[in-house]
Structure 1
Amino acid sequence: MLIDRDEFNRRIDHIKSQMAEPGIPALLISDNANKYYVTGRVFDGYVYIPLEGPVIFFIRRPVELEGDGVVYIRKPEDIASSIGLNVPEAIGLELDVLPYSTATRLKNIFPESELKNASGVMRRARAVKTPAQIDMIRHSGIKHVHVYSRIQHIFQSGMTDMELQVEIERVSRLEGCLGQFRISGDSMELYMGNVLVGDNADAPSPYDFAMGGAGLDPSLPVGACGTPIKPGNTVMVDMNGNFNGYMTDMTRVFALGEISPLAIEAHKCSIDIHRTFCDMMRPGVLAKDLYAKAEEMVKERGLSAYYMGHRQHAGFIGHGVGIEINELPVIAPRSRDIIAEGNVIALEPKFVIPHTGAVGIENTYAVHDDHVECLTPAPDEISYFDV
């Protein structure tokens, strides 16, 4: 493990607290994001977590790992002999992400054990961050903000959205960004983030993202598409914040020359929603109530037609973030999630204004018992490039 024993125990306790209700006596974890959560590293193998008994790390590679509970295996079938006679009546697997062939193979290894889907167990456990995890996200936020502070100096007249994005990527990678954008779920792909200029922000995407963009190729239809940055356009920057395996999610808006009053008003509405949520987002609050409050504020200002898209609207305004960019809780109208201390939430009320572009900010917040901490404290207002 690359985390200390106390931190390891806290995370295992989070997992076990979620195993009891669905009646899962043991988990067999294989997903890289979950292995990283448990151990602080990625390896080829499995983590076996029983409600009773020690955690076992079944490892294929790398070969030099040592420590309590480490068992080297050549193939998954070797797991059964290590568990011995303590085969549980049910085993939880991450069936949301596990290939069918792998799940079938594991079922054949434990024919007497019922297979249960433990994806929800892990998502709920990871939704409540420990202080050490929040500190990791806080450090990513510091670097993320520093990268954004340089964007105005990176811009050069005549750039396209892609040329600007490449330069932001360069600065970000030199700052230590890992480049990886971990996303949970099917049909969710992205490379390093989005830079959306003008009406490209209104291009519908097949992905469940707040903002779309046509992209450079139908094989990855999202984000920058080669649009020149012209006076009157907004430039929405939503770039990778993964500097240590834990991510921050942040969006800021830039513009070239004057933009429409409607865009300025919508951007102000986004900032006001953030400020309202900083007062509301406390343990015990229903996520759907937060969504309803934001929707009410948007309607009061007559901005509903532009909210979370114009031609195509996203159905959420916030989401958990951590090892993956789309964790729990989800701020959506039918969400069953309840805000808890330790949640880290990216809030992104955004608008698309035709012929201008996207406006609105996104910040990452940590929910504490009596306050909300902004982990991406960059200036909120629209920044203007020199013409």
Structure 2
Amino acid sequence: MLNRQESQQRISRLQESLRENGIDGALFIYPIDVYYFSGTRQNSTLWIPATGEPRLWVRKSFARGVGESCIEDTRPFPSSKEFPAHFEGVRTVGFTFDVAPVQQYNYYVKLLPGRDFVDVSAINREIRSVKSPWELDQIRHCGRELAGVFREVPAFLKPGMREVDLAAEFEYRLRKAGGEGYVRMRAFNQELFQGLAVSSASAGSTGFFDGAVTGQGMSSASPHGASAALIPVNTPILIDYTGVFNGYIIDMTRFFVIGQLDPELERAFETALAIQSYLAEQLKPGAICEELFLEAARMAQAAGLADHFMGAPGENARFVGHGVGLELDEFPVLAQGFKVALRAGQTLAIEPKFVFPGMGVIGIENTFAVSAGGGVRLSDLPDDIVYL
């Protein structure tokens, strides 16, 4: 559980940023934002003034919320008549426009007439992107647990399995290890069920998911991840899963083959490892995210693999790494157009992958922390393809 010292450090960083931007306070209603600062995910609204003590109002469950909350002033949600009295002298209210539904925005604007609501989405995400030593320990724990499940794969991956059979076996063990399964994503229209296990039968399928690999999924209503297709021999089997423990996420990908692998795919795998190695060395404070992506793309082009880099030809994702933490799509992003410098303590999943429709997908993914000496790997497992 979150402790009061960790919570206070986060709140202090936010308050400093609010004062720098002339904002009187921030009102959080999105559950994972409330959890980040308070330590409880109960149905709550959190007010953090630029100066002074925060206040958490809990709708349900108050009994659990007050027991979990690191906010000293935790109380039941007030009536609509009582609510405005807590905002005397407040003129500007920070709100997370990136995730707040219009209905909720209108509700709070009506409750607090005469105030200016301003967007603090970027401020919030930048603060959350830098992980404390406590958070890095949480993600390391995720890495150890997820790596343990990956190590079990050779014991249950058999010829004749369907993709969904493989996924179910993996997820069963991950759940038994204590995995929570909630893969939270901030971006609108994105969703993910723990991860995906796919082979050449569906690995090249395109889809809505903002990543290199989507998979066929089980239906048009769930067009992501494993399908009911049989896993063929002599093809790469991608297992790309998150490990979620205590709310925190780590993201890893490994490849398995029943039989042998096409030499072209082996060459692409070596290129992916080279890109990962380069990026890991460059994960230092001050490195520009876009420049790292462009160099990774250049390396793929130099290997003659540009058309297959980070997606099927024509549907390539324009990133090679993404922030992880309490959500799978945090800042920063190693992407075209993301002209932002890295900061120490940020955590990124680096995932150079190549998609060959009809042949399969190959690549690697590990999670790293930004440090003065380069990326510190948080996922402890050999990168090698496992041949069965």
TM-score, normalization: structure 2? 0.95
Give the deviation of 1:233 after TM superposition: 1.3
Q: Is 1:72 the equivalent of 2:90?
A: no
Which residue does the alignment assign to 1:277? 279
Quote the Cα distance in structure 2 between the aligned partners of 1:226 and 1:305: 28
Which residue does the alignment assign to 1:367? 370
The number of residue pairs the alignment matches comes to: 382
Matched residue type, 1:299: Q
Matched residue type, 1:145: A
Quote the Cα distance in structure 2 between the aligned partners of 1:135 and 1:75: 40
C-alpha offsets along residues 285-320 of structure 1, whole Å, 9 cap, x if unaligned? Answer: 000111011111111111112111123211111110
Which residue does the alignment assign to 1:196? 198
Quote the Cα distance in structure 1 between the aligned partners of 2:41 and 2:372: 32
C-alpha offsets along residues 255-282 of structure 1, whole Å, 9 cap, x if unaligned? Answer: 1211111100111111111111221110
Give the deviation of 1:92 after TM superposition: 1.0
Q: Is 1:350 the equivalent of 2:353?
A: yes
Quote the Cα distance in structure 2 between the aligned partners of 1:89 and 1:202: 52
Q: Is 1:258 the equivalent of 2:260?
A: yes
TM-score, normalization: structure 1? 0.95
Quote the Cα distance in structure 2 between the aligned partners of 1:22 and 1:269: 44
Give the deviation of 1:78 after TM superposition: 3.7
Give the deviation of 1:364 after TM superposition: 0.4
CA contact (8 A) 1:278 1:372 kept: yes
CA contact (8 A) 2:237 2:257 kept: yes
Q: Is 1:47 the equivalent of 2:46?
A: yes
1:150 is paired with a residue whose SS is helix
Matched residue type, 2:115: S
Relative to structure 1, is the Cα distance of residues 235 and 75 closer, same or farther in structure 2, using a 3 angstrom cutoff?
farther
Which residue does the alignment assign to 2:106? 104
Quote the Cα distance in structure 1 between the aligned partners of 2:289 and 2:14: 22
1:139 is paired with a residue whose SS is helix
Q: Is 1:243 the equivalent of 2:245?
A: yes
Relative to structure 1, is the Cα distance of residues 327 and 216 closer, same or farther in structure 2, using a 3 angstrom cutoff?
same
2:9 is paired with a residue whose SS is helix
Structure 1 stretches lacking a partner, 5+ long: none
Give the deviation of 1:329 after TM superposition: 0.2
C-alpha offsets along residues 96-153 of structure 1, whole Å, 9 cap, x if unaligned? Answer: 2111111101001111110112222211110011111111111111101111111111
1:267 is paired with a residue whose SS is helix
1:135 is paired with a residue whose SS is helix
1:187 is paired with a residue whose SS is coil
CA contact (8 A) 1:95 1:117 kept: yes
1:273 is paired with a residue whose SS is helix
Matched residue type, 1:242: V
Matched residue type, 2:75: V
- Which of residues 82, 85, 89 is equivalent to 2:86? 82
Quote the Cα distance in structure 2 between the aligned partners of 1:166 and 1:330: 30
Quote the Cα distance in structure 1 between the aligned partners of 2:17 and 2:226: 40
Relative to structure 1, is the Cα distance of residues 26 and 124 closer, same or farther in structure 2, using a 3 angstrom cutoff?
same
Quote the Cα distance in structure 2 between the aligned partners of 1:77 and 1:310: 55
Which residue does the alignment assign to 1:140? 142
1:198 is paired with a residue whose SS is coil
Relative to structure 1, is the Cα distance of residues 3 and 200 closer, same or farther in structure 2, using a 3 angstrom cutoff?
same
Quote the Cα distance in structure 2 between the aligned partners of 1:75 and 1:101: 18
Give the deviation of 1:354 after TM superposition: 3.3
2:228 is paired with a residue whose SS is coil
Which residue does the alignment assign to 1:324? 327
2:244 is paired with a residue whose SS is coil
Which residue does the alignment assign to 2:296? 294
- Percent identity over the alignment is 29
Quote the Cα distance in structure 1 between the aligned partners of 2:191 and 2:56: 30
CA contact (8 A) 1:189 1:220 kept: no
Q: Is 1:32 the equivalent of 2:34?
A: no
Give the deviation of 1:24 after TM superposition: 2.2
CA contact (8 A) 1:190 1:220 kept: no
Q: Is 1:228 the equivalent of 2:230?
A: yes
CA contact (8 A) 2:159 2:258 kept: no
